[in-house]
Amino acid sequence: MANQKDYYKVLGVSRTASQDEIRSAYRRLAKERHPDNAGGSTEEFSLLQEAHATLSDPNRRKQHDQDLDLAFAADQLAGLDFSSLDDELAARRQQKNRRRADEADDGESGGPGLGERLRSRFKRSRDREEDAPQRTSRRRGDGGRSGRTRGRYEAPTGKWYEPQDFDPEPITLRSAAISFGAAFAAFLVAGQLGLWATGASDPGVLTWTAYLAPFMPIVYTLVGLVAAYFSYRAAGYWAVALVFLSALVVGGRGGPEGLLQFGVLGIIGFLLMIYLGNRRDARSRR
């Protein structure tokens, strides 16, 4: 199996590992091998991502298991000499042809030997393995997510309305800065709009914003929920904590009334969606 990568060994899990075990192993190793960390490696992190993408998809995982089995069989047969077997089969075919010369079958008397056919078959299997990632990426148009199946090939669905099934990457300095900056800008815009709507700040030519005053609590809640949604999808719970921090900075002392309270309410609402989704999935697996 010198030319066949074993993604189970890359993640340090067994071939019977569940999707939860694969996901946990990937997250743990990703933190250790991320290029931004001391001792991390771009090559090892790329291989880790490749292994996780393969084993998280049911179809790719089945193909990977089949390729492992074929590679193992090829290693076992690589050292065998089929020439003697070919000679014996050829002699038997000649005897049969002599007895039944009038009913000779070209398929029996000609064609490649058994050893050659086996070696050709294993070569085609290796070629399919090299082309499998490209074929799979062209065939899948769902962003890398598949529907639920049974057995150890189960993969979570990545529907936008099921945030509990998201599989965010470990947070990095870059993703943390983006999550905080985007949430800060969103709360800042909503806060300024609230100041204009409530008359706490001169709206200038935007006097129409006064009609939005009764709806500002809804706006603040939606900003908190949407910011938490996209931050969690990108970098998990730590990014959601940064969204809360940005709401605290913008809506604290001097901020528009209600922004902090309703912004945090939106964040809590998003976390409640994850909690209820996990409970629903747990009941469906019973």
For the segment 7-37, what is each residue's pLDDT rounded down to a tens digit? 899 899 998 889 989 998 988 888 888 888 7
Instruction: Tell me what pLDDT residue 184 has.
Output: 94
Residue at 261 is within a domain: yes
Residue at 78 is within a domain: yes
- Considering its fold, how many domains does the chain have in total? 2
b/e sequence 168-178, b meaning 16+ C-beta within 10 Å? bebbbeebbeb
Residue at 166 is within a domain: no
Q: Which residue has the higher pLDDT, 228 or 30?
A: 228
One domain, residues 84 and 213: no
One domain, residues 95 and 214: no
Q: Give the Å distances, CA to CA, from 231 to 34, 72, 236, 259.
A: 20, 43, 7, 19
One domain, residues 125 and 181: no
d(CA 235, CA 237): 7
One domain, residues 138 and 268: no
pTM: predicted TM-score of the whole model, two decimal places: 0.50
One domain, residues 37 and 103: yes
Instruction: Tell me what pLDDT residue 223 has.
Output: 96
Q: Which residue has the higher pLDDT, 248 or 252?
A: 248
Q: Which residue has the higher pLDDT, 183 or 166?
A: 183
pLDDT band at 240 (very low <50, low <70, confident <90, very high): very high
pLDDT band at 181 (very low <50, low <70, confident <90, very high): very high
One domain, residues 219 and 259: yes
Q: Lowest-confidence range among 27-36, 139-148, 151-160? A: 139-148
One domain, residues 186 and 109: no
- Domain range for 127 is 7-146
Residue at 134 is within a domain: yes
One domain, residues 56 and 110: yes
One domain, residues 141 and 206: no
